[in-house]
Amino acid sequence: MATTQELQDFAQQVRRDIVRMVHAVQSGHPGGSLGCNEFLTVLFQEVMEYSTEFSMDGENEDLFFLSNGHISPVYYSVLARSGFFPVAELATFRKLNTRLQGHPTTHEGLPGIRIASGSLGQGMSVSLGAAQAKKLNGDKKLVYSLHGDGELQEGQNWEAIMYAAGKNVDNYIATVDYNKQQIDGGTEDVMPLGDLKAKFEAFGWIVLDVEKGNDVESIKNGLAEAKSLTGNGKPVCILLHTEMGNGIDFMMHTHAWHGKAPSDAQLEDALNQNPETLGDY
Fold of domain 4-273:
Rossmann fold (3.40.50)
C-alpha to C-alpha distance for 95 and 205, rounded to whole angstroms: 40
Q: DSSP H helical segments within the chain, as ranges?
A: 4-25, 30-35, 37-42, 72-81, 123-136, 155-166, 187-190, 196-202, 216-228, 264-273
38-88 pLDDT, tens digit per residue, is 999 999 999 999 999 999 999 999 999 999 999 999 999 999 999 999 999
pLDDT digits 0-9 by tens, 3-52 = 999 999 999 999 999 999 999 999 999 999 999 999 999 999 999 999 99
Residue 169: the pLDDT is 98
In this predicted structure, the answer to whether residue 1 has a pLDDT above a threshold of 90 is no
Q: Using alpha carbons, select from 38, 43, 29 the residue that is nearest to residue 10.
A: 38
The C-alpha atoms of residue 97 and residue 231 are separated, in whole angstroms, by 42
214-263 confidence digits (pLDDT tens):
999 999 999 999 999 999 999 999 999 999 999 999 999 999 999 999 99
Give the model's pLDDT for residue 249.
98
Each residue's pLDDT tens digit, 128-173 = 999 999 999 999 999 999 999 999 999 999 999 999 999 999 999 9
Enumerate the domain spans of the chain: 4-273
Using 50, 70 and 90 to split pLDDT, how confident is the model at 183?
A: confident
Distance CA 150, CA 145 (A): 15
Dihedral sign, Cα of residue 54, residue 11, residue 130, residue 231: positive
- Write down the pTM of the prediction: 0.97
Q: What is the mean pLDDT of residues 167-192?
A: 94
